[in-house]
Amino acid sequence: MSHNTAAGMERENDIPRHIAIIMDGNGRWANARGLPRGEGHRAGAESVREAVETCRQLGVDYLTLYAFSSENWNRPKKEIDSLMKLLERFLREKLPEMLKQNVRLHAIGRLGMLPESCRQEINQAIEKTRNNNGLNLILALSYGSREEIVDATRNIAVKVAHGEISPEDIDTTLFSSHLYTSNIPDPDLLIRTSGELRISNFLLWQISYSEIVISPKNWPDFRNADLRAAVDEYARRHRRFGTV
């Protein structure tokens, strides 16, 4: 995976290398306007486009978006179908833009649970952008961090059982290498919108030392200026990593 700075820009020390976002509040945004929830998701897609563009401008290397959680499968079938169609359309429409802007797409999660047509669009976009070396855009789809940790543990257990590694070999580095994010640096900044103060099963292992910024705005209202304000807040903090 590319470690080049996005869009060929120099990234300053106070710009996070990796931003992860819990995009919350699409439904509430729609409800407040008397609109169907699907309208909130469509409006949220525009905020995604703007977040990608802003990260490119700032020189961020990685942007991970919590697009569909493993718990989201419990939503009404009609809403899930609508979300999957929106994802397919988003990937189809944004692929030329990603190619033009040198964005490389990745996806993490239990992707096998997604509809076949959805997986085809994802795989096509991943394949066509694989040689891009600007911003890495990571979509967390059918993603749950506890499930990720269980999957990693199971894979390690199989290797121990086959004698490929011994229990003494297991440390944080080895464990990290079995996560979906094995080739991605841990997030420096985690943003959650809509004012909720929860992690919601997102990157639990990876955000151990991430700075957290909560925005009161619902995701469709979270735009360029809001993301820049979150990065400014990050820059004002002194990251100690357990030291003084």
Tokens standing for residue 103 = 């964005």
Task: Identify the active-site residue in 4, 72, 123, 201.
Answer: 72
Q: In angstroms, rounded to a whole number, what is the distance separating the alpha carbons of residues 232 and 223?
A: 14
Main-chain phi, psi angles of 155, to 5 degrees: -65, -40
The three-state DSSP-derived secondary structure of 128-162 is HCCCCCCCEEEEEEEECHHHHHHHHHHHHHHHHHC
Catalytic annotation on 72? Answer: yes
Main-chain phi, psi angles of 189, to 5 degrees: -135, 125
Task: Identify the active-site residue in 4, 13, 14, 24.
Answer: 24
Catalytic annotation on 24? Answer: yes
Instruction: Tell me the angle at which helices 77-100 and 116-128 cross, rounded to the nearest 10 degrees.
Output: 10
Residues noted as catalytic:
24, 72
